[in-house]
Structure 1
């Protein structure tokens, strides 16, 4: 009996061994290492020999990223993303931008006109908040043979638009905040009042204007669907791009709007200027936790306001990607000839309950 058990055990082990060997063989049977036309994938995945000597011919790729406001913290994770991508591909990236804490396209353009003359430059990344103001920069880059990528704000009419990649959030994503605002009102049992969407179109930022319009339309649609639109006054100004407010004194502008209406139950702000101001206005008028207040971006001020209840929610636009992908796009354009590969970074709605998970890796 013992001999029989030994024989059966040996047979079983032999079967398992053969089965494993067969399984291993089958797992490898679909392996592919060459293209249909015969070239090696390993060789094809390597960087082109002349990539590091593109344009400046100095053995290193140098890109510049220029933003329209580096003074309020929003673009910090954008710069982190750009540097992360540059480190991955062994490139150099110059982190530049207006020192102003508010939108300053004029200063950005001044920096762009300076950096475009740098003989070590191999590619340019820029934000384009002021429509029609960047054609000369693009033309100068094209004349020098420098590839361009835009990020964050979008100018659909920019010179050579269809050949230039863009990374950023479609303004229509602001509808997510509009829908959330309506849901907030419904959950709190609010049956009427004024909803404000403050903005200053004098900033010349068409992207912000479009956000306000998208949020406004979503609020109106949501209230209409609920059959309560007639009970509310949704004020985004006569052109649906925002009720007029002063970017140089945003807090007091919003406080004046709230106090003059007397029945404000909700509000949406479309950028990093008016969102922290909205939070302060909510706090100073005693509306923390009462008003359904939504905003844009997830900088330190917004995160603190979400924690305190001065903001109900805010939309993040994945700014890390807005630095990371343009650098990779320029590299791919130089090394692979891949151009105009756009990336929509969409929107992430963050509330007081979820704010703790934001910003742990500088991705706010």
Structure 2
């Protein structure tokens, strides 16, 4: 009997060892090169003394409009990233509620001279206007990252990381607009895409074009293109509308066409204006109106039905990732790791979930 108990205990212990071995199967304690991952994960000794040599990394993030709330979650994301790596983040930008690249460039020219700056993050809505900033930063040994708007011609583009939404994501709104028309049983009418190339934001121009192409494709695939007039202006970058008085401009556009059943606006200037125009003309719920960004005005308009939906470009990531990118470039030598933040379509059914943690 004693022998049986001993054998049973031995079998149980053996079973436990085998199960532990199976549970740990595939575990990796060290690199093939022989070093430990624990050691390799530590920050480099000289990272905190990069450039300014003051024992702390300081990054500046400069945007082209800090006055309308869109960039608030960008600044939140940058602050979260700074807290994670122990960096100081300077939150800067034009005070204007509308796009103001000239003021942004003025701020950039000042901040690039600051001896405490270890890294620079900037939006680049005006193509070709930032090369001197990049030259000045590189001459001082300050790494640069761009966020939000994309300038494909910027100096050393291939060596500069970018975080932002590719303009092609606007196709999501175009596809949603076509579906909305079908759901409402709308069989004909005008679809307008108001905008302004005078603002000099090529990213917005590309968004309008992408939305236009998606609308045309969707209607064509449904065999209904001939019944609709889709108008995004002569270059498909938007019907020229005064950015200084966008509401009246869109109201006039609606009234001049007389049969508007759908609309798309490509930025934070024209989207709230589109919602107000829809309300003023009594078209709430009657047309399919889509826009861009998820600021307070857009969220209120979606809740009221003045906007059918809007695309969020996940701006939290547009602040968080470039800070991490610069840190990795300084600490690990990892440069130009781009991030496409894509688009999040928000409608009346989902708008209540937006902004719970300042992420949109």
Deviation larger for 16-25 or 181-190: 16-25
Asked if 1:204 is matched to 2:200, the reply is yes
Match of 2:217 in 1: 221
Asked if 1:188 is matched to 2:209, the reply is no
2:313 is matched with which residue: 317, 329, 353?
317
1:41 is matched with which residue: 37, 41, 44?
37
Match of 1:137 in 2: 133
Q: Is the 8 A contact 1:66 1:96 kept in 2?
A: yes
Using the alignment, how far apart are the partners of 2:185 and 2:7 within structure 1?
Answer: 73
CA RMSD across the alignment: 1.5
Q: CA deviation at 1:250?
A: 0.6
Using the alignment, how far apart are the partners of 2:169 and 2:341 within structure 1?
Answer: 10
CA shift digits 1:67-120 (9 cap, x unpaired): 000000000000000000000000010000000000000000000001001100
Match of 2:82 in 1: 86
Match of 2:346 in 1: 350
Within-5 A mapping of 1:103-142? 103-142=99-138
Match of 2:253 in 1: 257
CA shift digits 1:6-31 (9 cap, x unpaired): x68x8767644432222113333533
Match of 2:357 in 1: 361
2:61 is matched with which residue: 59, 62, 65?
65
Using the alignment, how far apart are the partners of 2:13 and 2:310 within structure 1?
Answer: 58
Q: Is the 8 A contact 1:33 1:42 kept in 2?
A: no
Q: Is the 8 A contact 1:194 1:266 kept in 2?
A: yes
Q: CA deviation at 1:267?
A: 0.1
Asked if 1:161 is matched to 2:154, the reply is no
Q: CA deviation at 1:151?
A: 0.2
Using the alignment, how far apart are the partners of 2:9 and 2:228 within structure 1?
Answer: 77
1:177 is matched with which residue: 173, 177, 185?
173
2:304 is matched with which residue: 305, 308, 315?
308
Match of 1:75 in 2: 71
Asked if 1:32 is matched to 2:32, the reply is no
1:290 is matched with which residue: 286, 289, 303?
286
Using the alignment, how far apart are the partners of 1:172 and 1:93 within structure 2?
Answer: 31
Asked if 1:272 is matched to 2:268, the reply is yes
CA shift digits 1:142-195 (9 cap, x unpaired): 000000000000000000000000000000000000000000001111011000
Deviation larger for 223-232 or 162-171: 223-232
Question: Structure 2 regions of 5+ residues with no counterpart?
Answer: none
Match of 1:51 in 2: 47
Using the alignment, how far apart are the partners of 2:239 and 2:89 within structure 1?
Answer: 39
Using the alignment, how far apart are the partners of 1:17 and 1:178 within structure 2?
Answer: 64
Q: CA deviation at 1:33?
A: 2.1
Paired residues, number? 360
CA shift digits 1:260-309 (9 cap, x unpaired): 11000000000000000000000110011111000000001101111000
Using the alignment, how far apart are the partners of 2:253 and 2:8 within structure 1?
Answer: 83
Question: Structure 1 regions of 5+ residues with no counterpart?
Answer: none
Using the alignment, how far apart are the partners of 1:177 and 1:90 within structure 2?
Answer: 39
Deviation larger for 24-33 or 240-249: 24-33
Q: CA deviation at 1:38?
A: 1.4
